[in-house]
Amino acid sequence: EVQLVESGGGLVQPGGSQRLSCAASGFTFSSYWMSWVRQAPGKGLEWVAQIKQDGSEKHYVDSVKGRFTISRDNAENSLYLQMNSLRAEDTAVYYCARVRYGSGSIWDHWGQGTLFTVSS
C-alpha cells in the first residue's frame, strides 16, 4: 500500500526557516516525480514544488522561488521542503504527493498533510 507521511509542521515566526519531510513507502520511490501542494486554511489548493526522480529537475511556483528548496533522498525514500524567509501567507496544510506515473503532472497518492503556521 502506498503511504506518504509528512512531518515538520508547527509554528514558526515570520522570517524564520523550517524543513518539512515526507516518508514514502509501498512503492519504488526513486521511480516517481514527487511534489508538494499546499492549502491555506479555508482556501483552495496551490501547487508549490515538484522534483524529478533523480533530483536533476525542479520546478516551483513563483511565490516561493528563491525561498523554498525541494529535495529528495532516494536511499531513505524521503522528500523534503526547505522553507526560508517565511511569510504569514505560507501558512497552510502542506501535502506531499506522488506524480502519477506516465500521465503528466497529476497526483494519484497524497499524504495526510502537515499544518504549518507562520506567526509571531
Partner 1 sequence: DIQMTQSPSTLSASVGDRVTITCRASESISSWLAWYQQKPGKAPKLLIFKASTLQNGVPSRFSGSGSGTEFTLTISSLQPDDFATYYCQQYNSYSLTFGGGTKVEIK
Stretch that binds partner 1, among 15-23, 24-32, 68-76, 109-117 (CB under 8 A): 109-117
Residue 41 burial (CB count, 10 A)? 9
Cα separation values, 24 from 40, 48, 79, 113, Å: 24, 18, 8, 13
Taking CB under 8 A as the criterion, the residue among 31, 62, 66, 120 binding partner 1 is 62
- Sign for the CA dihedral angle at 51, 48, 10, 114 comes to negative
Shortest distance, CB of residue 112 to partner 1, whole angstroms?
Answer: 6
Which residue, among 2, 12, 1, has the nearest Cα to 114 in the 3D structure? 12
Q: Does 100 bind partner 1 (CB under 8 A)?
A: yes
Q: For residues 14 and 89, which CB has a smaller minimum distance to partner 1 in the complex?
A: 89
Q: For residues 12 and 97, which CB has a smaller minimum distance to partner 1 in the complex?
A: 97
Q: Does 44 bind partner 1 (CB under 8 A)?
A: yes
Q: Does 114 bind partner 1 (CB under 8 A)?
A: no
Which residue, among 116, 112, 77, has the nearest Cα to 6 in the 3D structure? 112
Cβ proximity of 111 and 24 under 8 Å: no
Shortest distance, CB of residue 119 to partner 1, whole angstroms?
Answer: 21
Q: For residues 83 and 97, which CB has a smaller minimum distance to partner 1 in the complex?
A: 97
